[in-house]
Chain A
Amino acid sequence: MPKVFNWHINREMEYPYPATPPTRQFAAVFDTNKCIACQTCSMICKNAWTSGRGQEYMWWNNVETKPYGGFPQGWDMKVLSLLGPQSWDRGTNTYTGMTLIESALAAAQGRQVTGYLPEDAEWGNVNIGEDEAVGLIEGGTSFGLPHPVWSFYLQRICNHCSYPACLASCPRKAIYKREEDGIVLVDQERCRGYRECVRACPFKKVMYNVATRVSEKCVACFPRVEQGLQPFCTIGCPGRIRINGWIHSPQEADLESPVDFLVHGRKVALPLYPQFGLMNHIYYVPPIHVPPEYLRQMFGPAVDRAMENYRQVKDDPEMLGVFMLMGATDRWIEKFRVVQGEAVGYDAKGDEIARVPLKEPVVVRPNFDPVLTVYRHNTM
């Protein structure tokens, strides 16, 4: 099997195809700390892409409460159990365990990738476990970091991986990664509904359409991306927790690009379960109130530094600038700059497409309005 380099785990790994990186790679940063699980992202995606016959159960975008929530139910615990022990060399941030493709279980299953096919019922409760914390808050519990009782929200779409498990598993080569932006798509004409991809994708973001009997997945709103627009789930977020951008390897990082800046520059955003070995491109700012033991399993050993760096955000105008640019425009921000207390986003042509203050001005209005001769209550 060919060897490819995966900088998420800082080593070469096996993959059925040689590395053929796209011209540029679709990516996003999601700040888990700001999410309130309102599911607006889920609904905007549903309305845009999965409101058809056979897609009733599909949520290409979902938000689940960790540690117990999951769509499909228990996907993460099941995959982690199948993969077995996962070890890192913490000195070099090198993953020393097996990836889902390297795992001996894959061959034992007669498959390219270690995985499982969720049962029907597991897709049936999209938001089971919502707002369930790890325990009850006992009398006398006080807040500190990390929280003794905690939960957090995990926003999930397809990761548009560099080494997708779905693509690796498809015997028909019906899944392809676009050369122009790295978006991973299922060829709707070529797919024959075998569901090898559904079984292989650990994030369970390929789903079988029960009416057309072929599989479908998150398309990263590619018609929008082609027009220089960010996907619906990004721009629909009222909490402004998401931003899209092109991701590069650490050596080629473009620190004027918002995603590269957060991932490589400030190192506050990390891929989910990098040990799966897929080089997945949704990067998460880890929830800083959660015990790091849990987060290390989820985001790898770099999570401690990410949390530490994130806590510096109020004193870091550039980092604050990128976070303020989240949700500030529906356009795709190619580059950003912080100028005189404002963060400015630019499109591919270098035209300004967003300008936001690093600190929103505080306006105190008197409760009597002499123009309209009315009193206002401070409800807004």
Chain B
Amino acid sequence: MSVEDNILDIAHISFLDMIKVMITQVGAASAKGTLMRNALMTADSISAIDYPSFDDYIAAIKDATNPIARIEGQATYQGGDVFGLQKCPFAGSIKNYNDVFMGLPSSYAEFTDEFNRPGQIPRKYRVGGGAGVSPFCAVHQPMRSAFAEKITIGGKKVLIYQLGCKSGSGKKGFAQEYIDETGVPKDLVDKVLDNHMCCYSIKIQQ
């Protein structure tokens, strides 16, 4: 372990604590809405981009110029419109917090349940629905889906469906509604989550 590994990032720790404070002060539903709105506003600020082909889209993930890759890292294409993300973009934040507090706040479970509940906005962005495993999913998943609204492939719009996610403890969450809607076999999502933290599908609109 290097000396740098001992240094904590207080921005991460403060952010995670702020989520805990929001849940206490305004309730899980309002806290969830705040994080989701913020994620959607961030996504709204990026420029639209078109990739001539799906191969160009994949290449842009590999060289991390794709806007989605820039916020979450390099997802790997699993075939059949399915992508797996090996590392949660909040893994560093969680590690920093765990180093100090030896676990995430207990109120995060209430927040996660709230994120997974059916609702107009999760449905609109095809997120949650069982695929949320932590409050960070309420930032990451809508932001990715909203980024996708700025992306076209061969001039055609794309939609992202969150299919599943895995928590740091290894517990898997599945969005059955979106799995059914995309036609991706649940077994495949399960298999992808064996080696990845996040699984989603990209559908090019015809």
A and B associate in one complex: no
